Structure 1
Amino acid sequence: MKTLYSLLLCIFTLSIGFCQDEQINFNDAIKMHLKKYNIKSDIAFENRNLNEGQILFDSLVSNHLVGTKFEDYTFKSISRKKVKLSSFKKPIFILTYASWCAPSKGEFPALNKLAQKYAKDVQFVLLFWDKKHDIKKIAKSFNHNIQVCYAHETYKNDATIVANMKHSLGFPTSYFLDENLKVVNIKRGGAQPALKSTYVKAYTMNYNVFREGLSSLLIEKNISKEQLTTN
């Protein structure tokens, strides 16, 4: 009887372990929870309740998207033909943009500064929802530490990327992934300084917003290193 009990306990423990190890795909999580989020979010913004809208977004991310497995997408790069996310072998910061969506004052310089500072620890990727010829000029705004990519509805093989990233959470949106493409955090884009803000203030606001998001990746990276050294 004791042997049978031990066997059942072992099976139960293993089943729990398998359930904990099972990782939900990001795309599946979006399909399961986006509709309900959109209904509530639309009501909040119709009532001009921006704070409620942000709370709903943060809740969607923290409760349903963080910890999911991101698709190993292949992006078209402005400098190389194709870039596969898993090829970076380190945490990734993806920021989605569009060439016709003007950045706030100091936003691009803040990204360049952060990319220069954290290039060894994090891969910076800017993904524009544009055709290649639309971003050739704007791509020159970024230093070599930032991989500038693009995707468009009319391009072959971009349909899934557009559907699951552009048409789900909108843009600009920041995706923070660990080296295994697990979602660590998702945030809206940069800061929104007042139009009359000085360049220094706007730059500082954007720097701090992006730096806060990057901190989650850097913490995750340090934890992973600690686990490797202790095991």
Structure 2
Amino acid sequence: MSRSRIFNGLFFVAVLMLIFSPSAKALVIEGLMKVGLFQPNISKNVSTVSTANSLPDVIFESPDGKQIHLADQKGKVVFLNFWATWCPPCIAEMPSINKLYGKLKDNGNVVFIIVDADHNFSKSLPFMAKHRYNMPLYKLASNVPPNLVSNSIPATTIIDKNGQIVFHQEGSADYGNPKVLEYLNKISK
């Protein structure tokens, strides 16, 4: 067998893996993040909420049944991420979100709400444990306004202490970027 046939066969197998394996896709996206692609434009202000300074009363529920109300988080910065275990871009950005969470988990002015968009803790909890992610995991327990999440995931929204959306990203992003940490520390003071 010639080298070109072997190379073509390996290339074909690699393409099939990228098409059919969420983990392989996620690995490629994560690698692209590490070389500088998929950087969030954190400096862009997207204040799209009404000028009324109140958060919608969206309710999230943790695996142990505890509920957190978004409306009760006014005065804190909220990092809200919607994801699913089958979504390669979601899987790719999880290490960077976990890294960011690790640096901010002791900041009482920042709340992380990582939402399993499938409402399926039987899949998301083992996924989090397997990867040693210690972020707080929730599912929706009420309706959510479209300005917080769209029909695509991953979707990340940052809400400032006044209840205003200051960042919204659809699709994967590298939240391990030092600019994101700097920005969250700045708006949480």
TM-score bracket for the superposition, by shorter chain length: 0.5 to 0.7
In 1, distance between residues paired with 2:176 and 2:165? Answer: 22
Q: Does 1:128 align with 2:116?
A: yes
Output the TM-score relative to the length of structure 2: 0.58
Instruction: Give me the CA root mean square deviation.
Output: 3.4
Task: Give the aligned partner of residue 182 of structure 1.
Answer: 164
* Structure 2, unpaired ranges of 5+: 1-41
SS at match of 1:207: coil
Task: Give the aligned partner of residue 83 of structure 2.
Answer: 97
Task: Give the aligned partner of residue 111 of structure 1.
Answer: 97
Paired positions, count: 141
Percent identical pairs in the alignment equals: 22
Is the 2:77–2:184 Cα contact (8 Å) retained in structure 1?
yes
Task: Give the aligned partner of residue 78 of structure 1.
Answer: 63
Is the 2:60–2:67 Cα contact (8 Å) retained in structure 1?
yes
In 1, distance between residues paired with 2:50 and 2:184? Answer: 12
1:99 CA displacement: 2.2
In 2, distance between residues paired with 1:110 and 1:179? Answer: 23
Cα deviation per residue 1:174-196 (whole Å; 9 max; x = unaligned)? Answer: 111123422222123433xxxxx
Give the 3 Å change call, closer, same or farther, for CA 105–85 of structure 1 in structure 2: closer
Q: Which has the higher contact order (CA 8 A, sep 6+)?
A: 2
Task: Give the aligned partner of residue 24 of structure 1.
Answer: none
Q: Which amino acid aligns with 2:112?
A: F
Give the 3 Å change call, closer, same or farther, for CA 77–162 of structure 1 in structure 2: farther
In 1, distance between residues paired with 2:91 and 2:65? Answer: 29
1:93 CA displacement: 0.4
1:149 CA displacement: 0.9
Structure with the higher helix share, 1 or 2: 1
Task: Give the aligned partner of residue 219 of structure 1.
Answer: 186
* Structure 1, unpaired ranges of 5+: 1-57, 152-156, 192-204, 223-231
Task: Give the aligned partner of residue 6 of structure 1.
Answer: none
Task: Give the aligned partner of residue 149 of structure 1.
Answer: 138
Is the 2:62–2:137 Cα contact (8 Å) retained in structure 1?
yes
In 2, distance between residues paired with 1:180 and 1:147? Answer: 22
